[in-house]
Amino acid sequence: MTEPAPRAGVIGWPVDHSRSPLIHAFWLNHFRLPGSYERLPIPPEAASNLKQILRSGGFVGANVTLPHKEIAATCADWIDPSAAELGAVNTLWFEGDRLMASNTDGYGFLANLDEREPGWDRSTNKAVVLGAGGASRAIIQALLQRGFDAVWILNRTVTKAERLTERFGPRCRAAALSQAETILPAADVLVNTTAVGMKGEGAFDFSLQRLSPDAVVTDIVYTPLETALLKAARNRGLTCVDGLGMLLHQAGPGFEKWFGQRPRVTAALREHVLEDLGHAA
Ligand code: ATR
């Protein structure tokens, strides 16, 4: 009997907006591999059954997106230690009957900067992260893993930032977003993890004037590709890295687990996804 073609997908609720199917279809086509990658809308009441859902559908694994990253972590039989620290996963795969889980968001974030701005981490004294929501955690962890001495978490609601400093330890500091202008000088890297700068979500009201001319500014938002923060940074002549590459890079490890080939993030893939974003805009 021949093996069925590997079946993978992305679990979320809703999941229509996900660009992951586009990325994985591009790589399946590139390697001429049999297999599929589907959108898997799973309502919250069914999410604790992820393992059975995947097993009964004959899936080799899946990505997990909002709002299921936390519950998926509780469904796995094994969880990678970094993902366990976050309490959230985005990549699932089977090893025999065991459901394994990891989180590739931090990897995607670092790989994007490494690819687009090699040397961005030349100085690892101080990083500033805007936001303290779900998306900020993988970024804070990644910056700490890369060796930053201090990671400042600035949030509109300062108590949420303080909770993250308790979680991630003494190299993290918390402050209110309103303090940004006093904290930005001496930052090597500035990262936005909030929805601010997306269409209809307004813009930050602080100035980037006091950022060092050597600072690198990046955003995890990629719709629009140039967020209000990146535009302000570009106008100041600062080095900017957009968030699209994080999406592309975080997809690679899952593809390798499910389909057996390590894919590359190429200019052609980026163009392909950009074209789709353009159509969707
Ligand atoms: P996600 O999982 O995408 O991070 P979230 O957990 O709802 O979403 O977190 C949203 C983040 O964006 C929070 O840091 C939020 O700040 P608060 O904790 O003060 O709510 C931040 N955010 C959203 N809208 C904002 C705005 N208009 N100005 C400043 N920060 C904002």
281: pLDDT confidence band, cut at 50, 70 and 90? Answer: very low
Angle at 266 between CA 261 and CA 270, to 5 degrees: 120
Residues with CB under 6 A from ligand 1: 131-136, 155-157, 160, 177, 193-196, 202
Task: Give residue 1's pLDDT.
Answer: 64
CA distance 76 to 224: 34
Order of strands, edge to edge, in the sheet holding 189-192? 172-176, 150-155, 126-130, 189-192, 216-219, 239-241
Q: Whose CA is nearest to atom 29 of ligand 1?
A: 156
CA distance 185 to 130: 15
Q: Is 160 a catalytic residue?
A: no
Burial class (CB in 10 A: 0-12, 13-18, 19+), 170: exposed
For residue 159, pLDDT beyond 80: yes
Testing ligand 1's pocket by substitution, the residue of 156, 201, 205 carrying the most ligand atoms inside 8 A of its CB is 156
> Ligand 1 centroid vs 72 CA: distance in angstroms?
22
- Atom number, ligand 1, closest to the C-alpha of residue 135: 4
Omega before 41 cis (within 30°)? no
Task: Give residue 279's pLDDT.
Answer: 55
> Ligand 1 centroid vs 121 CA: distance in angstroms?
26
Testing ligand 1's pocket by substitution, the residue of 165, 194, 196, 199 carrying the most ligand atoms inside 8 A of its CB is 194
In sign, the C-alpha dihedral spanning 51, 53, 56, 61 is: negative
For residues 38-57, one letter each, b for 16 or more C-beta atoms within 10 angstroms of the residue's C-beta and e for the rest, the string is: bbbebeeeebeebbebbeee
Helical residues (DSSP H) of the chain, grouped into ranges: 20-31, 50-56, 69-75, 81-86, 105-116, 134-145, 158-168, 180-183, 228-235, 244-259, 267-280
Q: Whose CA is nearest to atom 18 of ligand 1?
A: 157
214 CB-near residues (< 8 Å, 6+ apart): 123, 188, 239
pLDDT in tens, 7-59: 999 999 999 999 999 999 999 999 999 999 999 999 999 999 999 999 999 99
182 CB-near residues (< 8 Å, 6+ apart): none
> Ligand 1 centroid vs 268 CA: distance in angstroms?
33
Q: 194: which 2 tokens? A: 């909030």
Task: Give residue 87's pLDDT.
Answer: 96
Active-site residue, from 69, 126, 160, 231: 69
pLDDT in tens, 203-242: 899 999 999 999 999 999 999 999 999 999 999 999 999 9
3-state secondary structure of 251: helix
CA distance 68 to 70: 6
Phi and psi at residue 122, to the nearest 5°: -55, -45
202: pLDDT confidence band, cut at 50, 70 and 90? Answer: confident
> Ligand 1 centroid vs 214 CA: distance in angstroms?
27
